Structure 1
Amino acid sequence: MNWRQKKVVVIGAARSGLAAAKYLAERGAEVWLNDLKERSELPAEALTELEERGVRLVLGQHVRLATLLPQLVIVSPGVPFEAPPLVEAREKQIPVWSEIELAARVTRAPIVAVTGTNGKTTTTCLLEKIFRDADYHTFTGGNIGTPFISKAEELTAQDLAVLEVSSFQLATTEEFHPHVAIILNITPDHLDRHYNLEGYIAAKAKIFAKQTAEDWLILNWDDEETVAMAARARTNVLFFSRIHILDKGFYVDDGWIIAKVEDQAVPIVRVEDLQIKGGHNVENALAATAAAWVMGVAASNIADSLRTFQPVAHRLEPVLTYRGVRYINDSKGTNPDAAIKALDAFSEGIVLIAGGKSKGSDFLPFAWKIKEKVKALVLVGEAAPEIDAVVRKVGYQNVHYAESFVDAVHRASELAEKGDIVLLSPACASFDMFTDYEQRGDVFKELVRQLAKC
């Protein structure tokens, strides 16, 4: 693809935007990088490096496309669809791509792409381990870690790209074409950005929009929204199920993960041998097994990797045990469905820390699960009153407000008794108090470690 003298505006100076601007500038494009943040709020070294490559910065304001007349706009996932430059681009029929769309167009590597409301990162990291343990030269990135565009062009047809892809990234794809696509589950999330569930589902479905009869789509048989997607696919569809025994697909039978693609059912690994706990992680393991299977990884290799894979940071991550109380960091539980799955993973008494910035979610199912599983609820952040009102509606009363995140951890510790679990699974985004869920989880872990030193 020839970028020389093409005009491109990159909107959003986070990791993917910086990487896209650098890639395009190095190939001769005229690049403008736009962000509403001021220069002092952005990584200084990265901006200086881009300027040295000829990138022009438009910071602290929205860029005006009418004055630049770009041929393409690259948008970072964090930029709202209604941002004025994106509205202007649609009005002027200027293509708007995500960074993964750009990268997918220039790579030769086959792509295994993972999306869904919950479980994306765990499944992506599990696939990375399976493929690397099986001696595949694997790049892992997308919505986690390294932006795809920073390595896409270097990858060969013998390499493999394993990508976590979000609804925001998929919404601005046109030709994105994974060889294997996984949709783990669909529950309401990011409705503040996609406006309604239908818009959210439509974005997720773009993961298989360009697949052909030579590709594979892996769907969750236990999730009615993903099952419905099968009728729209023009590719090979395989299902996985934690609950049902399938005539064909990947399922659990008598405590074993089973692969049945031909006539024979092949036991892979016992569920009790997985290091990642909870029913949702069984689903993640099933999906990863299916993707690895169709990519030709031997059953014994898949089994070895599943047995030795450790929990990913911020996803039901054990922190430590102090005075008989286990502390679990599930900061990635940024929506009610994820938090429900976290609560279902434990049988012990749970002191739950929840709250943060609401994403327009329905908290009622979460409230019923709290009533069933939680001995004490500590609420913090902007959404605390909203969650409080809903849990009281279902008859749950043991609610404690925290004035700060530090206070929330201390309150939870005081409420917990020997044999209990203090679980951070907020059911909300972190942006009212933190830069992202990772910072929130890191702060939680540090606060817990400080408690243990007292």
Structure 2
Amino acid sequence: MDLAGKKCLVIGAARTGLAVSEFLLGKKAQVFLNDSQTKANLVWKKLVSLENRGVVLLLGQQPDLDSFSPDLIIVSPGVPLLLPCLQKARIKGIPIWSEIELAARFIKVPLLAVTGTNGKTTTTTLLGKILADGGRKVVVGGNIGEPLISKLEALNSDSLAVLEVSSFQLATTEIFRPQVALFLNLTPDHLDWHLSYEAYRESKEKIFLNQDSTDYLVLNYDDPETRKMAALAPGKVLFFSREHILETGFCVQDDWLVAKEASQTTRFLPVEEIKIKGGHNLENALAAAAAGWLMGLSKTSITMSLRTFPGVEHRLEEVLTYQGITFINDSKGTNPAAVIKALAAYTHPLILLAGGKNKGSDFSALALKIKERVKELILFGEAAPQIAAAVKKVGYRNYHLVSDLKAAVYLGTDLAVKGDIVLLSPACASWDMFSSFEERGQVFKDLVRKITESR
């Protein structure tokens, strides 16, 4: 694809938008970088560098398409597709792509992509480790780490690319096609952006719709939503399950992780020897092992990776234990389904810290789980009253509303006794108080260390 001289509008001047602008400059395109925020709220030095190299900055405003008539628009994840300029672009027939769609036009190596409502980051990172431990040259990115577009130059003919892909990124894809796609689970999320569960699901399904008969789709047999996607798959389907013994696929049999192929069973390791714990992480391990197996890795190599992979930051991450109280950072738990899985991962009494910006979620199922498992609930952020109303409706009364995360951590520490777990698992996005779930998780960890060191 020749972009030389093409007018390319990039919307969103954060990590993805900056990486896309750099890439387009390298392809000698005319780049226009837009963001609703002004320079004062953005990465100033990077913007100046781009501007000095010819990028036209359109900041603090909606771009006027008539003033420069772009040939292509690249939207960053989370940019609302109902922006007036994007609606106008559709009328004009201007292509609107995500960063991964742009990268798909240039990538020349096998691509493995992971999506789902929950478990994406853990599974993507684990799959990257499995491939690297097996001697493959692998680049991991997408919705975690660096955007794929910034890693294209690092790929050679021996490389593999492993991506976490979100519904935001998939929504504006056209030819994006992974040779191996993993779809972990599906529950309502980001409904404030997609506006309906159906639209959310359709965006996610784009991960496999461009595949052909030579490609693979790895699906969760235990999730009714993903199981029925097998009927839509153009490629070959491989199921995984932690609840059923499959005729073909990856599953648990006699407490071992196994691969079933026709009449042959390959035993990898006892489930208890998988380093990452919890039922949800067993699903992640099954999915990643299945993808590694499809890529030709040995049982020995996959088993070693499963025994040694420690998990990812901000997902059920143990911060420290103080006077018998354990503090867990699960800032990545940004929707109710993720928190339900987090609560199920522990047997100790739980003090749950939750709240933030609601993404259109219904908290009723989470409220029932809180009533069953949570000793004390501490709520903060915009969604605190909504979560409080949900738990109150099911008869749960041990909740406290506080002003911010700092107050929540202090109160949680005060309420906890030996044997308790203080768990940050917000069930919400971070954007009401923080720039990202990573920042929220880091603030939580810093607060925990500060409080425990001072007592």
One fold, TM greater than 0.5?
yes
Question: What is the TM-score with the length of structure 1 in the denominator?
Answer: 0.99
Structure 1 stretches of 4+ with a deviation exceeding 6 A read none
| Residue 52 of structure 1: how far off its partner (Å) | 2.5
Q: Secondary structure at the match of 2:264?
A: coil
- Name whichever of 42-51 and 152-161 sits farther off: 152-161
Please say if 1:71 is aligned against 2:71.
yes
Q: Which position in structure 2 is the counterpart of 1:420?
A: 420
Question: Does the Cα contact within 8 Å between 1:26 and 1:53 map onto a contact in 2?
Answer: no
Q: Which position in structure 1 is the counterpart of 2:268?
A: 268
Q: Which position in structure 2 is the counterpart of 1:335?
A: 335
Q: Secondary structure at the match of 1:151?
A: helix
Q: Quick one: which amino acid aligns to residue 36 of structure 2? A: L
| Residue 53 of structure 1: how far off its partner (Å) | 2.3
Distance 1:121 1:251 in 2: 21
Distance 1:381 1:297 in 2: 45
| Residue 34 of structure 1: how far off its partner (Å) | 0.3
Please say if 1:132 is aligned against 2:142.
no
Distance 2:389 2:228 in 1: 34
| Residue 175 of structure 1: how far off its partner (Å) | 0.3
Q: Secondary structure at the match of 2:432?
A: coil
Q: Quick one: which amino acid aligns to residue 227 of structure 2? A: V
Distance 1:446 1:154 in 2: 35
Q: Quick one: which amino acid aligns to residue 449 of structure 1? A: R
Q: What CA deviation, in whole Å up to 9, does each residue of 1:381-409 have, x standing for no partner?
A: 11111111110111111111112211100
Q: Secondary structure at the match of 2:105?
A: helix
Q: Which position in structure 1 is the counterpart of 2:183?
A: 183
Q: Which position in structure 2 is the counterpart of 1:96?
A: 96
Please say if 1:157 is aligned against 2:165.
no
- Name whichever of 102-111 and 269-278 sits farther off: 269-278
Q: Which position in structure 2 is the counterpart of 1:235?
A: 235
Q: What CA deviation, in whole Å up to 9, does each residue of 1:107-134 have, x standing for no partner?
A: 1111000000000000000011111111
Please say if 1:147 is aligned against 2:156.
no
Q: Which position in structure 2 is the counterpart of 1:308?
A: 308
| Residue 64 of structure 1: how far off its partner (Å) | 1.2
Distance 1:215 1:176 in 2: 13
Q: Quick one: which amino acid aligns to residue 172 of structure 1? A: T
- Name whichever of 264-273 and 30-39 sits farther off: 264-273
Distance 2:4 2:52 in 1: 17
Distance 1:416 1:241 in 2: 36
Q: Secondary structure at the match of 1:450?
A: helix
RMSD: 0.9
Q: Which position in structure 2 is the counterpart of 1:87?
A: 87
Q: Quick one: which amino acid aligns to residue 391 of structure 2? A: V
Distance 1:330 1:349 in 2: 16
Question: Does the Cα contact within 8 Å between 2:351 and 2:374 map onto a contact in 1?
Answer: yes
Question: Does the Cα contact within 8 Å between 1:130 and 1:301 map onto a contact in 2?
Answer: yes
Distance 1:22 1:133 in 2: 31
| Residue 78 of structure 1: how far off its partner (Å) | 2.1
Question: What is the TM-score with the length of structure 2 in the denominator?
Answer: 0.98
Q: Which position in structure 1 is the counterpart of 2:109?
A: 109
- Name whichever of 400-409 and 308-317 sits farther off: 400-409
Q: Secondary structure at the match of 1:343?
A: helix
Question: Does the Cα contact within 8 Å between 1:241 and 1:250 map onto a contact in 2?
Answer: yes
| Residue 262 of structure 1: how far off its partner (Å) | 4.2
Q: Quick one: which amino acid aligns to residue 363 of structure 1? A: F
| Residue 163 of structure 1: how far off its partner (Å) | 0.2
Question: Does the Cα contact within 8 Å between 1:110 and 1:157 map onto a contact in 2?
Answer: no
Structure 1, unaligned stretches of length 5 or more? none
Calculate percent identity across the aligned residue pairs: 57
Structure 2, unaligned stretches of length 5 or more? none
Distance 2:174 2:341 in 1: 33
Q: Which position in structure 2 is the counterpart of 1:42?
A: 42
Question: Does the Cα contact within 8 Å between 1:338 and 1:427 map onto a contact in 2?
Answer: yes
Please say if 1:380 is aligned against 2:385.
no
Question: Does the Cα contact within 8 Å between 1:103 and 1:153 map onto a contact in 2?
Answer: no
Distance 2:278 2:233 in 1: 30
- Name whichever of 371-380 and 399-408 sits farther off: 399-408
Q: Secondary structure at the match of 2:113?
A: strand
Distance 1:393 1:189 in 2: 22
Distance 1:136 1:75 in 2: 32
Q: Which position in structure 2 is the counterpart of 1:171?
A: 171
Distance 1:122 1:235 in 2: 25
| Residue 154 of structure 1: how far off its partner (Å) | 4.2
